[in-house]
Amino acid sequence: MMLTLRPAVAARTAFRQYARAMSTQAEPMVLTSRSESGKVAILTLNRPKALNALSTPLFDQLNAELEKADADESVRAIVLTGGEKVFAAGADIKEMKDKQFAEAYKNNFLGTWAKLADIRKPIIGAVAGYALGGGCELAMMTDFIVCTPKAVFAQPEITLGIIPGGGGSQRLVTLIGKGRAMDMVLTNRKVSGVEAGQWGLASRVTEDGQSVVEEAVKVADGIAKFGVVAAQAGKEAVNAALELPLAQGLRLERRLFQALFATADQKEGMAAFAEKRKPTWTDN
């Protein structure tokens, strides 16, 4: 015998089925918001049940949002965070465990995970809780890190029979020196937020209990008050120091410095200083 639902009952049943289907759909892996000023894009990793484990789909979304923010003229700085509890507790092992060399090599596995380094606008990493493995590497890809005292940085890949693959061994040497980098890579040493600040891995460490996201946004809003051209030129000059011999780096810095004299913001900034008033930037 076939049971026929009344229209109202059928409608409610259909709605419940639709609601269940919607609730099981994957939420965005990267949440986007803006600071109160509207000038800072806040990108939040959103895999809380997996402690923000990093995966290729997550990076696909992150890269897309970073490119949007970089192209948006209203955005002057970016904050990247995992929230107030965890930044990212490493790469998603489920995605990696069965990979073979040929597949990883042909598809350039992890190659797309470093696109953050191509973004021209300033990026601040706001780190609370774990920043392990790929999470530590992602944090180091930002222009500088603000962290909590209880944040934990580590490169535990050796416990899995591998080494860092997202720049950990390279960026750590630049930031904290060879000995400390070796210590972290070879012994799975965990570094607290306090130590990270002392070592130069983090630029700023919040007070205990202070919101790391709010502090990072505050710093980013400070950057947003300056001219975009000068901010991007400053970022380019500092990044060049990581790759160029000193003489070439000094030459690039000097050329960028000289080039800024062709901008309206240089004229406005120096005129405002001489006239003892606040400058009005036009980003030209």
pLDDT at residue number 276: 96
Tell me the CA distances in angstroms from 205 to 88, 149, 208, one per residue in order.
18, 6, 9
Candidates 53, 65, 88, 137; catalytic one: 137
pLDDT at residue 148 above 80?
A: yes
Q: Which of 93, 24, 104, 95 is nearest to 57 (CA)?
A: 95
Q: Is 91 an active-site residue?
A: yes
pLDDT at residue number 23: 40
Where do you find CATH 3.90.226.10 in the chain?
Answer: 30-224
Q: What is the pLDDT of residues 36-83, one digit of tens each?
A: 999 999 999 999 999 999 999 999 999 999 999 999 999 999 999 999
Asked whether 158 and 185 are in contact (CB, 8 A), the reply is: yes
Candidates 125, 134, 168, 197; catalytic one: 134
pLDDT at residue number 253: 96
Q: Is 268 an active-site residue?
A: no
Q: What is the pLDDT of residues 185-243, one digit of tens each?
A: 999 999 999 999 999 999 999 999 999 999 999 999 999 999 999 999 999 999 999 99
pLDDT at residue number 3: 43
Q: Is 137 an active-site residue?
A: yes
Q: Is 157 an active-site residue?
A: yes
**Class of the 228-274 domain?**
mainly alpha
- The CATH number of domain 30-224 is 3.90.226.10: yes
Q: In what order do the strands lie in the sheet with 130-132?
A: 130-132, 152-154, 191-192
Asked whether 79 and 66 are in contact (CB, 8 A), the reply is: no
Q: What is the pLDDT of residues 172-195, one digit of tens each?
A: 999 999 999 999 999 999 999 999
Q: Which of 145, 88, 138 is nearest to 122 (CA)?
A: 145
Asked whether 45 and 138 are in contact (CB, 8 A), the reply is: no
pTM for the whole structure: 0.87
Where do you find CATH 1.10.12.10 in the chain?
Answer: 228-274
Candidates 91, 151, 202, 216; catalytic one: 91
Dihedral, CA of residue 195, residue 201, residue 204 and residue 209, to nearest 10:
-50
pLDDT at residue number 6: 52
Candidates 65, 157, 215, 253; catalytic one: 157
